[in-house]
């Protein structure tokens, strides 16, 4: 069971009127991982999250949570889910603790021990006996997460959880989402339109654009820019020393001549080194141009470039 996904989205589309807002999306999320749904405003993130939580029905495809279909087995699927899709509501005059106690009474099997556990997971021990009306936005959000995980859900879904948080609040959010993923093996889905925030929080990220899932990647893969080989063009006055320079560098790589120079796939560091060696070999280098964007640049262009 260890490798079975907590959440499985199978070829889901959502049409509203004549518009296809979600277009053939498939995605699996596993226990203990934080998955980011990243996309510019209007990409369909909220709609996808509403589909996951059964708030809207897919036009095609299906969504399963712990193997249960969100539509036809709604109750069985939803008992594994904790979600904050809109701002969580609390009783402002009650303390955080009393609010949690109130919600816990509605959830079978949740006692004071579990309440203490969730308070410690979201690190709200110090303020938990203060009235909620004195809480900052970040503290309210932590209380919201504490409430959402009372019943030990296998899947926690948070829509744009960093909205309105300051950098310290975002750091705290990252820390407790990680604790949750590690300690309770909870699968976490968070949406955002900022790659920079996703970098801090997520293990993997799914890029949504115009309702389509265009890439799903490990965050570490996106950040490993130094090891990424990108097609690079050197403009030079002659190419005859290229094979021997490549040999000296131990670069057993294919390269090809093109008008005014040559092209080769190179890592960042290798580009600088090849340039240096070419010059040492008496080749005049007029320009070095990367012909491909790095994964990080592609992601930034897809997301932050479109943000308001
Ligand atoms: N009920 C609806 N009727 C018509 N169009 C809708 C409806 N809900 C969403 N849309 C449209 O679907 C697209 C995706 O919306 P959605 O709110 O899911 O995007 P989003 O990625 O969450 O954006 P944001 O970050 O701005 O919330 C938008 O163009 C929106 O106008």
pLDDT tens digits along 189-223: 999 888 888 888 899 999 999 999 988 989 888 87
* C-beta of residue 194 within 8 angstroms of C-beta of residue 306: no
Measured in residues, the chain has a length of 308
What's the 241 CA to ligand 1 centre distance in angstroms? 56
User: How far is it, in rounded angstroms, from Cα 189 to Cα 48?
Assistant: 11
All domains in the chain, ordered by first residue: 7-223 (3.40.50.300), 226-296 (3.30.70)
Give the position, in ligand 1's atom list, of the atom nearest the Cα of 39: 21
Identify the CA nearest to 104 among candidates 151, 137, 61, 54.
Answer: 151
Q: Which residues partner with 29 through β-bridges?
A: 7
Identify the CA nearest to 7 among candidates 41, 36, 24, 31.
Answer: 31
The protein residue whose alpha carbon is closest to atom 12 in ligand 1 is 21
The model scores a pTM over 0.95:
no
Instruction: Give CA separation, 264 vs 244, 257, 271, in Å.
Output: 14, 9, 10
ipTM: 0.93
The protein residue whose alpha carbon is closest to atom 10 in ligand 1 is 21
pLDDT tens-place values along the chain, 308 residues long: 457 999 999 999 999 999 999 999 999 999 999 999 998 888 999 999 999 999 999 999 999 999 999 999 999 999 999 988 777 789 999 999 999 999 998 888 888 999 999 999 888 999 999 999 999 888 998 999 999 999 999 999 999 888 878 888 888 888 889 989 998 899 999 998 888 888 888 999 999 999 999 889 898 888 777 778 899 999 999 999 999 999 999 888 899 999 999 999 999 889 999 999 999 999 999 999 999 888 777 777 776 544 44
The protein residue whose alpha carbon is closest to atom 3 in ligand 1 is 16
What is the torsional sign of CA 250, 251, 257, 263?
A: negative
User: How far is it, in rounded angstroms, from Cα 106 to Cα 304?
Assistant: 41
Taking only the tens place, the pLDDT of each residue in 55-66 is 999 999 999 999
């Amino acid at each position: 069971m260890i490798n079975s996904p907590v959440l499985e989205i199978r070829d889901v589309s959502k049409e509203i009127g004549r518009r296809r807002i979600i277009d053939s999306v498939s995605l699996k999320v596993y226990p203990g991982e934080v998955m980011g749904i990243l996309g510019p405003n209007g990409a369909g993130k909220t709609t996808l999250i509403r589909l996951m939580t059964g708030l809207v029905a897919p036009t095609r495809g299906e969504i399963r949570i712990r193997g249960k279909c969100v539509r036809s087995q709604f109750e069985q699927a939803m008992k594994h889910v904790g979600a904050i899709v809109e701002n969580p509501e609390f009783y402002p005059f009650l303390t955080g603790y009393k609010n949690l106690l109130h919600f816990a009474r509605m959830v079978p099997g949740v006692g004071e021990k579990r309440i203490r556990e969730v308070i410690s997971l979201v690190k709200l021990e110090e303020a938990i006996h203060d009235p909620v009306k004195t809480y900052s936005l970040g503290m309210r959000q932590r209380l919201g997460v504490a409430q959402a995980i009372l019943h030990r859900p296998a899947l926690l879904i948070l829509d744009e959880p960093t909205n309105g948080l300051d950098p310290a609040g975002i750091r705290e959010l990252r820390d407790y989402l990680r604790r949750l993923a590690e300690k309770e093996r909870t699968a976490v889905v968070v949406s955002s339109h900022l790659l920079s925030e996703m970098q801090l929080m997520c293990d993997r990220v799914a890029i949504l654009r115009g309702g389509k899932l265009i890439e799903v990647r490990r965050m570490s893969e996106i950040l490993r820019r130094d090891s990424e080989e990108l097609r690079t063009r050197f403009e030079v006055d002659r190419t005859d020393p290229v094979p021997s320079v490549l040999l000296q560098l131990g670069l057993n790589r294919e390269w090809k001549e093109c008008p005014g120079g040559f092209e080769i796939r190179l890592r960042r560091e290798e580009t600088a080194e090849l340039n240096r060696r070419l010059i040492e070999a008496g080749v005049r280098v007029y320009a070095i141009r990367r012909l491909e964007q790095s994964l990080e640049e592609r992601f930034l262009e897809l997301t932050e470039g479109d943000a308001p």
